[in-house]
């Protein structure tokens, strides 16, 4: 008997934060340890992502996953049984080979990522280690700097505004706990400002306030005022981070800003964003141009990338090859790392390693459709990723992750210290 040899693999259908079916995989080892993981789901997806297997048809809007769960219980279980849960690379390679498609659509990216992450949980449990430590963490590991949504938008808020995520980053915080304390105050202040202006309409998919704004830029004014109202110095202590998610409203070099009632070409988009950089304390911008506009992405990075983090999400889709090519071409300077975009943990790790090798930033990220699964927090700490994006400071699928970070912090010698400011583009 080997402690980490896989004895059983079970798939089940559970529900995600949007009330849609999702896949959970539970894996046991011969020593009786078990681990489980659930697949998240995106709404603003890049075209190069691993594809979830969904049933289609009338039930649950076509989002049902009985086929993906069957993939787990039949082919995946039969293949993984007897393999070593601690051999992540070997096991993921078998999963990729078994699926046999370019984008994992046969067995389903949702089935594969849940199985791949469940193996890491099972191996860690069999070795009696917390997952973050099993993944490479040590007593002096650092916690990632949180990037936290205050207003939602885009595909996560019925396109009420075009821009998708208005977030804040506690650039002046020294510990993970302090970053959360400050963010809690900003989130509260933003809610009060919205209520005072008669604009409070509940929350969007990731828990950020529903963006009842008259234009995209109005949200930036509110966010800056919320930082001030929380008693924090905009830029010095709390800065702004945006996910433009431009692939959602830009195609073929035309960007249709429905909320502002205008169409921009790539150059005008860049000018608009540069204007925002001049007027608001923004330190990070994700997907400023669309995935089909690498020239625009490069032009933006050339213009702003020395001072601002430019994150590729839809264009890079957590793919190591794409990260290497984009780094060589100077197309952005950081990558969003989403395990389910890649489809297995080892491919996710490869994309993260490629970013590190290029001297890039890397932000481990949740999806807009989430669950109580906290694997990404362990990945960020264990791998030494310096940033974590999880959505807002509300809704338990988000808070589960922030709270898990606080628990991990308690186990560390430094009690949850963040990387020094000089580790980030805005501190250099």
Active site residue 401: no
Which one of Mg ion, ligand 2PG, none is in contact with 43 (Cβ closer than 5 to 8 A by kind)? ligand 2PG
User: Under a CB-based contact definition with an 8 Å cutoff, are residues 395 and 207 in contact?
Assistant: yes
Q: Which residue is nearest to Mg ion (CB)?
A: 313
Instruction: Pick the closest to residue 213 from 269, 129, 157, 265 (CA basis).
Output: 157
Q: Of 104, 298, 338, 386, which is the active-site residue? A: 338
Least distance between ligand 2PG and beta carbon 370 (Å): 8
- Binding site residues, ligand 2PG, CB under 6 A: 42-45, 155, 165, 206, 243, 245, 313, 336, 365, 367-368
d(CA 321, CA 370): 27
Q: Which of residues 84 and 313 has its CB atom nearest to Mg ion in the complex?
A: 313
**Residues 242-261 contacting Mg ion, CB under 5 A:** 243
Which one of Mg ion, ligand 2PG, none is in contact with 266 (Cβ closer than 5 to 8 A by kind)? none
Q: Which of residues 28 and 318 has its CB atom nearest to Mg ion in the complex?
A: 318
For residue 147, give every residue at least 6 positions away whose Cβ sits within 8 Å of its Cβ, in sequence order, or none: 167, 168, 169, 241, 284, 363, 387, 388, 389, 390
Binding range to Mg ion, per CB under 5 A, among 75-83, 241-249, 354-362, 384-392: 241-249
Least distance between ligand 2PG and beta carbon 167 (Å): 9
d(CA 376, CA 369): 14
Q: Which residues pair with 361 in a beta bridge?
A: 334
Q: Which of residues 33 and 240 has its CB atom nearest to ligand 2PG in the complex?
A: 240
Least distance between Mg ion and beta carbon 368 (Å): 9
Binding range to Mg ion, per CB under 5 A, among 11-19, 122-130, 282-290, 390-398: 282-290
Distances in whole angstroms, Cα of residue 94 to Cα of each of 2, 72, 81, 152, 270? 20, 13, 12, 38, 43
Tokens of 292: 């089909």
- CB atoms < 10 A from the CB of 97, how many? 9
Which one of ligand 2PG, Mg ion, none is in contact with 301 (Cβ closer than 5 to 8 A by kind)? none
Among 49, 313, 347, 404, binds Mg ion (CB under 5 A): 313
Three-class secondary structure of residue 247 per DSSP: helix
Q: Which of residues 33 and 366 has its CB atom nearest to Mg ion in the complex?
A: 366
Burial of 243 (0-12, 13-18, 19+ CB in 10 A): buried
Q: Of 185, 206, 217, 347, which is the active-site residue? A: 206
Active site residue 206: yes
Least distance between Mg ion and beta carbon 247 (Å): 9
Q: Is the dihedral angle over the CA atoms 409, 412, 417, 423 positive or is it negative?
A: negative
Q: Which of residues 175 and 368 has its CB atom nearest to ligand 2PG in the complex?
A: 368
What's the first-to-final CA gap in the chain, in angstroms?
52
d(CA 52, CA 268): 35
Q: Which of residues 218 and 313 has its CB atom nearest to Mg ion in the complex?
A: 313
User: Contact residues for Mg ion (CB under 5 A)?
Assistant: 243, 286, 313
Q: Report, as residue numbers or ranges, the catalytic residues.
A: 206, 338
């Amino acid at each position: 008997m080997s402690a980490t040899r896989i004895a059983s693999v079970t798939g089940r259908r559970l529900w995600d934060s949007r009330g849609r079916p999702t896949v959970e995989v539970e894996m046991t080892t011969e020593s009786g340890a078990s681990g489980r993981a659930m697949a998240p789901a995106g709404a603003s997806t890049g075209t190069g992502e691993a594809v979830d297997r969904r049933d289609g048809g009338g039930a649950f809007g076509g989002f049902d996953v009985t086929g993906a769960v069957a993939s787990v219980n039949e082919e995946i279980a039969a293949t993984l049984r007897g393999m070593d849960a601690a051999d992540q690379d070997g096991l993921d390679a078998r999963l990729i080979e078994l699926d046999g498609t370019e984008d994992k659509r046969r067995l389903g990216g949702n089935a594969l990522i849940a199985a791949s992450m469940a193996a890491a949980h099972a191996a860690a449990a069999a070795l009696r280690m917390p997952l973050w430590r099993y993944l490479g963490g040590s007593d002096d590991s650092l916690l990632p700097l949180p990037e936290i949504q205050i207003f939602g938008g885009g595909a996560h808020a019925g396109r009420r505004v075009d821009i998708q995520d208005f977030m804040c980053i506690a650039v002046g915080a020294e510990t993970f706990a302090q970053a959360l304390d400050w963010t809690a105050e900003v989130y509260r202040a933003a809610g009060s400002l919205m209520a005072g202006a008669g604009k409070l309409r509940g929350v969007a998919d990731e828990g950020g306030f529903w963006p009842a704004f008259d234009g995209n830029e109005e949200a930036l004014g509110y966010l800056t005022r919320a930082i001030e109202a929380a008693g924090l110095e905009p830029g010095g202590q709390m800065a702004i981070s945006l996910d433009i998610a431009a692939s959602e409203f830009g195609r073929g070099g035309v960007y249709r800003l429905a909320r502002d009632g205008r169409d921009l070409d790539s150059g005008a988009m860049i000018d608009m964003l540069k204007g925002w950089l001049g007027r608001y304390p923004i330190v990070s911008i994700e997907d400023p141009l669309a995935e089909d506009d690498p020239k625009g992405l490069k032009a933006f990075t050339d213009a702003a990338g020395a001072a601002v983090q430019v994150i590729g999400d839809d264009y890079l889709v957590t793919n190591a090859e794409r990260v290497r090519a984009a780094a060589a071409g100077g197309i952005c300077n950081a990558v969003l790392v989403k395990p389910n975009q890649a489809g297995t943990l080892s491919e996710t790790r490869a994309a993260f390693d490629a970013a590190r090798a290029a001297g890039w930033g890397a932000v481990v990220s949740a999806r807009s459709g989430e669950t109580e699964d906290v694997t990404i927090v362990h990945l960020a700490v264990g791998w030494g990723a310096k940033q974590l994006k999880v959505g807002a400071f509300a809704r338990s699928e988000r808070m589960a992750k922030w709270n898990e970070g606080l628990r991990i912090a308690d186990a560390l010698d430094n009690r949850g210290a963040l990387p020094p400011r000089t580790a980030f583009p805005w501190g250099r």
